[in-house]
Amino acid sequence: MNLNSIFGQFSPDFILFLPLTLIALIINISWLFFTNNTNWIPTRIYLLLTSFNQWIIKTIFQQTNPNSAPWVAPISTIFLLILSVNTLGLLPYAFTATSHISLTYSLGIPLWMSVNILGFYLSFNTRLSHLVPQGTPSFLIPLMVIIETLSLFAQPIALGLRLAANLTAGHLLIYLLSTAIWVLLNNISIASITFIIFVLLFLLEIGVACIQAYVFTALIHFYLIQNL
């Protein structure tokens, strides 16, 4: 394995003489047998997945209104997608696609545009009134309109950048610590301490992967509530 390049995640691209692409396809296809229940009596795995989906809906949609009901399915799907990519990216020989802003912006900008277009379509005057906070002096209205407009267009930038930056930073630390452990194998005491720090950081990254998926979808839901 090439430890001198952070872009060498797929080197070597074989494990136990099997290509990683074939292994990934087998894992993805086998996952369908767990998620699709064809029996009259639900299995334990199906009940576990159903309970997990219900918990996701309750967590994300704690403060909402009936108008956001049609958005439950797409927002929950986005949460599961980001959560899956974030957590699976921590496995060996895996790549975290959400650490690239090309993917995070591809998710964030269309969602942000859709909720804002919906808000202006449903109540155009109300959305324009949000550009000027209540009680603003008349001489500050032009300045407040500019500030609120800039903050509005900064939402998708922060939405995608936050997710990619947090995951990239954590993966860099994991990569540096794993490289340090490999280099310090001659010194068992220092390598052991580094390994303990690596394990704690890995557990922290699992939490960060879950939290960032929640933050992304929670912000989308917050923008949706503002526009309904």
pLDDT tens digits, 192-210: 888 888 888 888 888 888 8
Query: Is the pLDDT score of 11 beyond 60?
Result: no
> What is the rounded average pLDDT of the residues 168-177?
83
More confident residue, 151 or 124: 151
The chain-wide mean pLDDT, for the chain, equals: 76
Sign, CA torsion 194/196/197/203: positive
> What single-letter DSSP state applies at residue 43?
P
Q: What dihedral angle (degrees, nearest 10) is formed by the CA atoms of 49, 51, 52, 54?
A: 120
Gap between the Cα atoms of 86 and 83, Å rounded? 5
Residue indicated by tokens 């795995």? 45
Query: Is the pLDDT score of 135 beyond 60?
Result: yes
What local confidence, expressed as pLDDT, does residue 7 receive? Answer: 46
Gap between the Cα atoms of 209 and 213, Å rounded? 6
Give the end-to-end CA distance of the chain in Å, rounded to a whole number: 52
> What single-letter DSSP state applies at residue 38?
-
Helices H / strands E in the chain, number of each: 7, 2
User: Which segments within the chain are labelled E, that is strand?
Assistant: 14-15, 18-19
Instruction: Tell me the percentage of the chain whose pLDDT exceeds 70.
Output: 77
Give the pTM: 0.71
- The region of weakest confidence among 20-24, 47-51, 87-91, 164-168 is 20-24
CB 213 within 8 A of CB 86: yes
Query: Is the pLDDT score of 12 beyond 60?
Result: no
For the segment 46-103, what is each residue's pLDDT rounded down to a tens digit?
A: 677 777 777 777 777 777 677 777 777 788 888 888 888 888 878 776 777 888 888 8
Query: Is the pLDDT score of 32 beyond 80?
Result: no
